[in-house]
């Protein structure tokens, strides 16, 4: 059975309250740090009302030691903590060092592919007693082709894809930054990518459970903004104003036909067809035992 969207995940009261505090800080311009296992925290906690049980140091300088072993579930998979090189020399050259650095900070499994590497990362962005976010990341050997990743929320035994807000068209892969922002480039490697996704997961949970995307965001075109932006969120033009004080009035004057046409010209796909590929849902459903090939995932308009 493939995953179905069964409504909102159930989080504990303390998790919701941590999410709310974190969201408020991000919405007011705080730049959280990401710690081991993707824990998102503010350090130092300068926002007067935000108090976390965040680790006292930024652990990137002091990597955690982890020797957690996971039984291989496929001949292509390798467990966290394993230090041997990848069997493919090309993958080793492209991602060997980056993956070994990643597993010092995250629980991760990798799967070698003819065209690159799959990495599945299990994170706890809201702390060790909070929900998990799992990321499945496709890393092509050819670095001019950018990674794609999908996120699943795992709480109380329920595993669900994250909502579509701030995912790409048409495959609903995570959109955690724009290329133009240079917040991440392929030379930065897998670890900072995992950090970006962990922060994205916190923002997405915040919108899902508390009704609002916290912090600055990018969103082009009237149709997209009208579909996804709430008046109280930051405007997608990055003016530093709330949507209601910026593009909302102008967007509301644009006709539906014009807005939809503009969207399809910008994104080369209809708004409503965005969906996670079935092969990725199956991968999550099998707990990462059945992983698609990179080729399947990068084929345009793949729906398998
Ligand atoms: Zn605007």
Tens of pLDDT, residue by residue over 176-228, are 999 888 999 999 999 999 999 999 999 999 999 999 999 999 999 999 999 99
- Is residue 207 in a domain? yes
Give me the residues near ligand 1 (ion), CB cutoff below 5 Å.
235, 237, 239, 246-247
**Residue 83 pLDDT grade (very low, low, confident, very high; cuts 50, 70, 90):** low
Closest by CA position to 294, among listed 171, 201, 177, 185: 171
For residue 178, how far is its CA from the centre of ligand 1 (angstroms)?
17
Looking at residue 93, what is its pLDDT? 96
Residues 91 and 223 in one domain: no
In the predicted structure, residue 303 carries a pLDDT above the cut 60:
no
- The answer to whether the beta carbons of residues 164 and 274 sit under 8 Å apart is yes
- Is residue 3 in a domain? no
For residue 61, how far is its CA from the centre of ligand 1 (angstroms)?
38
Per DSSP (E only), the strands in 6-96 are: 33-34, 40-41, 77-78
Residues 198 and 236 in one domain: no
Looking at residue 53, what is its pLDDT? 44
How many domains does the chain fold into? 2
- The answer to whether the beta carbons of residues 215 and 204 sit under 8 Å apart is no
Residues 249 and 292 in one domain: no
- Is residue 149 in a domain? yes
> In this prediction, what percent of the chain has a pLDDT beyond 90?
76
- Is residue 82 in a domain? yes
Residues 199 and 166 in one domain: yes
For residue 98, how far is its CA from the centre of ligand 1 (angstroms)?
38
Residues 106 and 249 in one domain: no
Of 42-46, 277-281, 288-292, the poorest mean pLDDT is in 42-46
Query: Rounded to a whole number, what is the largest CA-CA distance in the chain?
Result: 59
For residue 251, how far is its CA from the centre of ligand 1 (angstroms)?
9
Residues 194 and 261 in one domain: no
Closest by CA position to 126, among listed 44, 205, 217: 205
Q: Give the pLDDT confidence of 248-265 residue by residue, as tens digits.
A: 999 999 999 999 999 999
Residues 127 and 32 in one domain: yes
Residues 249 and 188 in one domain: no
Looking at residue 146, what is its pLDDT? 95
User: Domain range spanning residue 35?
Assistant: 13-215+274-298
Residues 108 and 233 in one domain: no
Closest by CA position to 134, among listed 198, 73, 189: 198
For residue 140, how far is its CA from the centre of ligand 1 (angstroms)?
35
Spatial distance between the Cα atoms of 199 and 147, rounded to a whole number of angstroms: 17
Residues 50 and 160 in one domain: yes
- Is residue 138 in a domain? yes
Residues 39 and 177 in one domain: yes
pTM: 0.87
- Is residue 289 in a domain? yes
Residues 98 and 137 in one domain: yes
Looking at residue 43, what is its pLDDT? 64
- Is residue 303 in a domain? no
- Is residue 5 in a domain? no
**Residue 66 pLDDT grade (very low, low, confident, very high; cuts 50, 70, 90):** very low
């Amino acid at each position: 059975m493939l995953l179905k969207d069964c409504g909102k995940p159930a989080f504990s009261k303390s998790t919701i309250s941590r999410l709310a505090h974190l969201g408020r800080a991000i919405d007011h311009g705080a730049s959280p740090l990401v710690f081991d296992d993707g824990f998102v925290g503010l350090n130092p906690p300068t926002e007067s009302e935000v108090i976390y049980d965040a680790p006292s140091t930024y652990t990137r300088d002091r990597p955690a030691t982890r020797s957690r072993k996971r039984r291989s579930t496929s001949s292509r998979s390798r467990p966290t903590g394993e230090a041997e090189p990848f069997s493919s020399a090309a993958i080793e050259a492209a991602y060997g060092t980056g993956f070994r650095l990643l597993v010092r900070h995250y629980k991760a499994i990798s799967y070698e592919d003819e065209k690159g590497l799959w990495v599945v990362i299990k994170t706890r962005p809201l702390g060790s007693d909070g929900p998990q976010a799992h990321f499945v990341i496709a890393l092509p050997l050819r670095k001019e082709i950018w990674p794609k990743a999908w996120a699943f929320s795992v709480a109380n035994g329920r595993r669900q894809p994250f909502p579509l807000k701030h995912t790409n068209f048409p495959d609903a892969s995570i959109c955690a930054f724009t290329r133009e922002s240079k917040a991440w480039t392929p030379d930065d490697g897998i670890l900072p990518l995992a950090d970006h996704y962990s922060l994205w997961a916190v923002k997405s949970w915040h919108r899902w459970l508390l009704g609002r995307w916290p912090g600055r965001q990018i969103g082009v075109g009237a149709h997209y903004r009208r579909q996804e932006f709430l008046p109280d969120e930051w405007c997608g033009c990055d003016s530093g104003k709330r949507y209601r004080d910026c593009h909302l009035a102008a967007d509301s004057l644009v006709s539906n036909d014009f807005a939809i046409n503009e969207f399809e010209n910008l994104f080369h796909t209809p708004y409503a067809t965005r969906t996670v590929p079935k092969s990725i849902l199956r991968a999550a459903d099998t707990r990462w035992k059945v992983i698609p090939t990179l080729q399947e995932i990068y084929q345009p308009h793949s729906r398998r």
